[in-house]
Structure 1
């Protein structure tokens, strides 16, 4: 049933907040409003807010007042109207821009997954260390079982994100997970041509460009964003007694093909364009190429664009026995590790330090960056920027000295043998620069721990 729309009276809210002049900043997403006031609200003011029949929860998140709406209102409409009411005739109030609101929204979706990121990253690192020290054979069944346990959260990340995004978009979470799971279902995977990364098939007569969706992020967000409109639209035209059957049915029929038809080409063509740019940059200036790859590789992975660069790496290894992109990309991991180290040094809250230490271990031992990227770097923003700048600095060094790699491996301390070429010393210099620059930038410019939802 569609949510009822109401003509809202904001005077009680504004009064409980101490008036417009007491409000410093305000931001609203689909399921949360955060307001920062000049003076801390009294118990009476908080009680007055709780008494307004709009909020399920009224609490403090660090210096911010966190307001969670109930399900009886169209909060997208309410939140935007309340923001306008609070900021009207008050130029001193800061409102977050679109990028800030999107990052806050994405962080809310990732927060429930963060603990499993940390645990999986450490387990992956321990497995790599165990095989390097010959405590465990990579061919043993024990290894494969433990590897599956450590890899599941990364491989099935789109499904986990879809489930979490379903809550943020206020749609059915199980349906959200199933829609994205369809993108990774074996019948879709088998349509990829001869195990290649991409392929073309058809939905009736409409071309469908396929790509690998495991471990990606953006396709899951786009799928659930599209599903949120589909579900709300279907519930408006289907009677409640039939919704339990026909809403999931029609959503699957409409959303899954739509995502494959639209998202697939976007990812493929952006990736091909990126590969062409990389080829041009290498010919033009290897130092700039190293800075671009080292600095932006985490962004490529987030959008799934790295799949178009990996075939270039494999081709270089097959034809020449070495490749220049691998060491450039490796510096991004050490840039991220530097951000984790910087957070570990400067953090005051125990939970933040725990996330930073687990992220640092998983990076240095296994080359797994997701626990750091999504666990705290992106939510706190400045550490992510520092990581990119550190990776760019190290990548520039790698590019300038034409460093090569001889194996398709992640950047980590345990994978150093993969860079055992005559340029090995410059690889060490490059990753050290990435780590140190990122660490220093994170420590110097700091970060806001309250963005992680921790308070102690």
Structure 2
């Protein structure tokens, strides 16, 4: 959590000013923005490795091998295998069945769970004096093969299916567009949780190319507002849980700047119910933005950081949408989403 908060805060600060410069038509960013992004992007660029290590600790696998499984999923060589198997989409690479990072961290978790089982089975038959040599090699060979050629393509098909559902709601008009705005925003935190949100970038680009603005991005920004409101409710309820309140205090500035991972992994997701209530609250904000047709001229970090990107005349509606997400997140979580043992 400290690493996510530290990196997220640096990314959030850099992202806000990047959005300001983008809104002003400035393409050459100051060096300090690149520097902040360099410091803050390392964790998120190699997040799969951290997930692999932590998953190994949970499942009982060797932590370093879990990290290797995570690293395999983001290897650039994945594209070579994808092209050889005909799974690569040259026109829209992000729509490929198999590319680095496809399927998000869910594939890493599944792979490491299998790794733990394989290691245990191998140690039953491999002599102790050969364990250090053979067990890691055979484990990586088996699980690495499954990860690349089975788990990642499966996760890729799953993510593409989700994207197709999203595309239906994105293109909807009238009352269905409002319902779509709710569903899109309410679904964003689950996608962020498993790293599938990157698959939405092609939709941003398509909308920007065809219409000169993006409606999907501001709608999805509302999901973070639901988390912020929900975290505020938890903070008030958890009066005797100082550890949790410390995490919320640290993650809140980052979340306001549009980096939702610290709040997601540190607060709402571990507690369960707040994750659901925050998603519902974000959906309400998304429905409002869909109804008022809020659009942005580009995409980047969310939350208040995205305000400079909102098209003229719609900034007030965007702010109201955030307010709806904040208030709904607080109210729904306060009455229905706070676990009874929150102070234990």
TM-score, L = length of structure 1: 0.66
Q: Distance in 1 between matches of 2:199 and 2:74?
A: 18
1:321 alignment counterpart = 212
Q: Alpha-carbon deviations, 1:179-216, whole Å to 9, x = none? A: 221222232357666682244xxxxxxxxx41342893
Q: For each residue in 1:214-261, what CA deviation from the matched residue of structure 2 results, as whole angstroms up to 9, or x when unmatched?
A: 893211210101111211122122222112111111112111121122
Q: Hey, which of these two has a bigger chunk of strand by percent? A: 1
Deviation of the 1:390 alpha carbon = 0.7
Is residue 120 of structure 1 aligned with residue 7 of structure 2? Answer: yes
CA shift for structure 1 position 316? 1.0
1:245 to 133, 140, 150: 133
- The farther-off stretch of 339-348 and 287-296 is 339-348
Pick the structure with more helix per residue: 2
- In the alignment, is the contact (CA less than 8 A) between 1:342 and 1:440 conserved in 2? yes
Aligned to 2:66: 176
Indicate if the aligned counterparts of 2:172 and 2:180 stay in contact, CA closer than 8 A: no
Q: Give 1:353's aligned residue.
A: 245
Q: Tell me the equivalent position of 1:154.
A: 44
Q: What number of residue pairs does the alignment pair up?
A: 327
Q: What is the CA–CA distance in structure 1 between the aligned matches of 2:129 and 2:309, rounded to whole Å?
A: 61
Gaps spanning 5+ residues in structure 1: where?
1-113, 200-208
Q: How does 1:153-232 map to 2 (within 5 A)?
A: 153-188=43-78, 196-199=93-96, 209-213=97-101, 216-232=104-120
Residue 333 of structure 2 is aligned to residue 442 of structure 1: yes
Distance of 1:132 and 1:180 partners within structure 2 = 31
- Separation in structure 2 between the aligned mates of residue 151 and residue 426 of structure 1, nearest angstrom: 31
Once the two structures are TM-superposed, the CA of residue 164 in structure 1 deviates from its matched residue by 1.4
Q: Would the alpha carbon gap of residues 222 and 298 (structure 1) be closer, same or farther in structure 2, given more than 3 Å must change?
A: same
User: Which of 1 and 2 has higher RCO (CA within 8 Å, sep 6+)?
Assistant: 2
- Alignment root-mean-square deviation, CA: 2.6
Q: Which residue pairs with 2:315 in the alignment? A: 424
Q: How far does residue 446 in structure 1 lie from its aligned partner after superposition?
A: 5.4
Q: Structure 2 matches for 1:52-91, cutoff 5 A?
A: none
Tell whether the 8 Å contact from 1:211 to 1:267 is kept in structure 2 after alignment: no
Give the match for residue 24 of structure 2: none
Q: Does the 8 Å CA contact 2:19/2:308 hold for their aligned counterparts?
A: no
Q: Taking structure 1 as reference, are residues 198 and 446 closer, same or farther at Cα in structure 2, changes over 3 Å only? A: closer
Q: CA–CA distance in 2 between the matches of 1:125 and 1:449?
A: 33
Rg: which structure is higher?
Answer: 1
Tell me the distance in 2 between the aligned counterparts of 1:272 and 1:337.
Answer: 29
Give the superposition deviation at 1:129.
5.2
